Chain A
Amino acid sequence: MQNAALVGARPPDTGTSTGSALGLYAAVARGAFRRYSTYRAATLAGTFTNTVFGIILASSFLALWQARPNLGGYDQSQAVTYIWVSQGLLVTVAVWGGGFQDDVQDRFRSGDIAVDLYRPVDFQGWWLATDLGRAAFQALVRGTVPMLVGALVFRTRMPEHPLTWVFFLLSVLLALLVSFGVRFLVSITGFWLHDSEGVRSVMLVVSMFFSGMLLPIALFPGWLGDLGRVLPWASLVQVPTDVFLERASGAGLLGAFGFQLGWAVALLAAGRGAQWLATRRVVVQGG
């Protein structure tokens, strides 16, 4: 965290120069990108795991769709592609948490969190920048390699429209904002609970289930499906994957983006509010 110390030494930015503030966050994101890129062996090992899970789950989906063709409106190759896209998204959008959350957790334990609040940089913005950097690196390796293996081993469905790739990337970016919004709220409970571990483990379950990571939400029965479609977690996996599979176009596509954007704004605003409340009650021990 040498970067952090350097940045912290700068005089407070009063917000008159948005250009330099953006440059600062870009530097933080770059730092996070480089930090994650040093764990090469771990990234390789993780990519292997994603691929193994992809093969197992894609086989199970194939069996299910053989028994019930066109289940949930997906054909067989779409169902298989669903698995591979979601495996690529799992770590990139941090469906089961992690990323900056581990750092924040450590800083709660060590008390460094007090220093973070001192910095002339926005707390939420700082961690958002690190998370974007992390995601960018993980999208490069853990997002693409399983997808490539999947396309080689199974019959997958690639987008027909070249523009879909752009829409997909946009949707992944929005997914990341929603994911960050949720994880930031979870982490910030540490100000009250001292340890957000318990909340995190509950969130992991909710997130894995309602993101559509385990099963497309279209397959959920009755009210569970209705609930799953409106909760923020659908933005993480279900929406970007459906964009990739070109299940919506025109107004439907706009609606999907609107859904993601709405949740992203709401969650980031809630995080900001929680941060404001939290900083009012921080007591720094000793000195």
Chain B
Amino acid sequence: MRSWWLCARMWMRSMMAYRASFVLNLLASLVTHSLDFVVLVIMFRHTDQLGGWNLPEIAFLYATATFSLGMANLLVGSADGLGVRIMSGSLDTMLIRPAPALSQLCAERFSLRRLGRPLQAAIVLVWSLAALDVHWTWDRVLLVPVLLVCGTVIFGAIFVGGATVQFWWGESKEIQNSFTYGGATLLHYPPTIFAKELVAGAVFGVPLAFVNWLPSLRILDRPDPLGLPTAFQYASPVAAAVCVAAAGFAWRAGLRAYRGTGS
């Protein structure tokens, strides 16, 4: 943790040397990431519901998924550079430094520019919370921050776990994209529009449904298309813990299997 913070701070300071460029980059990324939401808004100019969900509800899904992905990407997203490091041999340098390799890898090229995505999502979230027609009970209110934290952790675990695959298959980065960026796109839309098998896969396979689908069913008071027990809607912390454990195990296994090329 501490070494991650040290590395991240170093990169932040190097970036802040060019303040104007940073601000421009952040603004550009804010606009870029808004585009996905613009598409949803245009869709809702032609209809007032998608899969039975209205715009504020879908905006809530969009914002929570995007925020979780964005925060995970900000914190550990650099992990996907592992394959390139193995190829260039710079992973070996990290391994001999007196700091955990994983935290070095995750903080490498730490870039505040990535704040654009979660920032944009936060704006949409505030709008959707204001526009939603929900009866706010204490458990629903509490679920929102829990959702955001657990979602970030789950996406973070997928970033790290996916990167670990590159120990064995260096060019697998794109596959990981389909679970991180593809996963977030999946979670922008309500589970009702997808085939049941796909939704089940997101619950029991790669547990993306715990990021926002399941807790949102509780918050927005929607029926579960799979008819799972209510406990699932509160189970995101458990799912997040399992994901972290699995990613940690995969990372250690990968590191053990890794052989530097030496010189």
Contact = CB atoms under 8 A, between A and B. Distances in A.
Interface of A: 39, 41-42, 45-46, 48-49, 52-53, 55-57, 59-60, 62-64, 67-68, 71, 198, 201-202, 204-205, 208-209, 214-215, 219-221
Contact of B28 (A41, A48, A49, A202): A202
B144 interface: no
B177 interface: yes
Contact of B175 (A49, A53, A201, A209): A49
B35 A208 contact: yes
A64 B52 CA distance: 10
Given A41-B169, A205-B31, A208-B35, A48 B175 contact: yes
Contacts of A45: 171-175
B47 A53 contact: no
B28 A67 contact: no
Interface stretch (B7-15, B193-201, B252-260): B193-201
B182 interface: yes
B174 A60 contact: no
Given A48-B178, A209-B35, A42 B171 contact: yes
Nearest to A208: B35
Contacts of A60: 43, 50, 189, 193
B171 A62 contact: no
A63 B51 contact: yes
Nearest to A71: B46
B62 to A, nearest CB: 12
Given A52-B182, A60-B50, 14 more contacts: A41-B169, A41-B171, A45-B172, A45-B173, A53-B178, A56-B182, A56-B189, A59-B193, A60-B43, A60-B189, A63-B51, A63-B189, A208-B35, A219-B43
A57 B42 contact: no
B90 interface: no
Interface string B115-158: 00000000000000000000000000000000000000000000
Contacts of B38: 209
Contact of B42 (A49, A63, A221): A221
A46 B28 CA distance: 26
A40 to B, nearest CB: 8
B185 interface: yes
A221 B45 contact: yes
Contacts of A201: 28, 32
A215 B38 CA distance: 10
B243 interface: no
A64 B194 CA distance: 12
A52 B206 CA distance: 13
Contacts of A49: 174-175, 177-178, 182
B49 interface: yes
B39 interface: yes
Nearest to A63: B193
Given A201-B32, A205-B31, A68 B174 contact: no
B186 interface: yes
A12 B126 CA distance: 64
Contact of B194 (A41, A46, A59): A59
A221 B24 CA distance: 29
Contacts of B182: 49, 52-53, 56
A189 to B, nearest CB: 16
A57 B185 contact: yes
Which 10 A-B residue pairs are closest in the complex by CB-CB distance?
Answer: A45-B174, A63-B193, A42-B171, A52-B178, A41-B171, A67-B47, A49-B178, A45-B175, A46-B174, A52-B182
